[in-house]
A and B are shown apart, each in its own frame.
Chain A
Amino acid sequence: MDEFDLFVWFRWLLATVCTVYAVVVTGRSLWGWLTYFGSSRQTAILGRYTLVLLLRMRSARFAGELLQIAVLSAMLLALVCMHHG
């Protein structure tokens, strides 16, 4: 049987709480926007315009930031994998 390790429990708890928190907050925010855009005809038009505005966005403008995020994600994945040896 594995020996009890406080740090292992702490990181497990931290990872779980942070993940659940992020999922709940993101879900609530998305649901809030969806209900707002569906609340009336005017806001529905606004929602469609927002969608068009998002589709018109050029990802090349944020290429540097996106690249940094990709590198950081890869680093995080590698670090998690290294925990398994």
Chain B
Amino acid sequence: MDNGTKKTQAISELPADELVRYGSELGLELNPEMGRGELLRLVRERQELLLELDREAMLDIAVWARHPVRKSAGKEELARHIATIKKMEVQTLGDRGLVALARLRGLVARDGEPRNVIEARLRDAECFWDRVRRQRRKLVGSLITKAITGSTGEESEAYRFLPEEAAGVPSLKEHIAEEGVVGGIARKLRGVADDYVREKLDEIEARIDRKLDEIDQRLAEWRDREMANRLKIIKITLVASVIVALLSLIYTYLRPGPSRPDPASQPAAEAEWSSPPRACEAPPLWV
């Protein structure tokens, strides 16, 4: 049984939350509310797309967006990076990169298709608010860069890949030649043990990060619930205030006037009484 079949079986056995996490590692934005079948379908579609795409094309996108990646980065890692790219200035991106970018953003694009058609599709697919947000950030970035460095910050140095993990590690032969048989083997073993510990520490760190993200998400949900409750209380208070103000206004318009004085003894008061009471003469609400 090959690795691909094993992986497909393993994915079909994953619970929904693990599928969502795996999907996010492939650069998908999945809703946990979706059914498990739908999640599985989307993840498989993304896997098939990644199989179809050229790794070099995906590497072109990472270089164009200046995301720090290793030259040997796998397709899944590259897809995860590409999913976070919101950049739209694709003039400096090569043709194969442009096609890959469009396909990873869920658009239809074929090799050999005119660039301007694909660019127009990318522009159309961008949400209005994303565009506004991008332009705002671009403007703020340019202003801050100009304020700090005095230039617009357009010029940038050439892109460099992250160093490979295995680069610069001497072989056993080199160790033995340098330190003798026992010392060389001991150093090699220590190196292997160090690698193992580093790998395990990375795993633990990733697990802690995931837990912290979960806690952060739960706290954000709690904050939203609290905020919704507070807003509801404010709304109820306002409704009550409006009802009381309305009753007060009705009372102001309908309240009986002053008692009628004797016309013979107080002619001035008669003149005052003859004019109907007006709402504007009522005392204000808070007086």
Contacts and interface: CB of A to CB of B under 8 A. Distances in A.
Interface of A: 2-3, 5, 7-8, 11-12, 14-16, 53-54, 56-57, 61-62, 65-66, 68-69, 72-73, 75-76, 79-80, 82-85
Interface in B239-269: 239, 241-242, 244-246, 248-249, 251-252, 255, 258
B239 A61 contact: no
Given A80-B285, A85-B280, A65 B252 contact: no
B238 interface: yes
B251 to A, nearest CB: 6
Nearest to A56: B220
A85 B227 CA distance: 37
Contacts, number: 75
A69 B279 CA distance: 27
Contacts of B284: 80, 83-84
Contacts of A65: 228, 231-232, 235
Contacts of B234: 69
A62 B283 CA distance: 37
Contact of A15 (B239, B242, B285): B285
Interface in B199-255: 219-220, 223-224, 227-228, 231-232, 234-235, 238-239, 241-242, 244-246, 248-249, 251-252, 255
6 contacts: A15-B286, A54-B223, A61-B224, A83-B252, A83-B284, A84-B284
Given A15-B286, A65-B235, 6 more contacts: A8-B287, A65-B231, A76-B242, A76-B245, A82-B249, A85-B282
Given A14-B244, A85-B278, A57 B249 contact: no
Nearest to A60: B129
Nearest to A59: B227
A65 B238 CA distance: 12
Contacts of B244: 11, 14
A74 B234 CA distance: 14
Contacts of A62: 227-228, 231
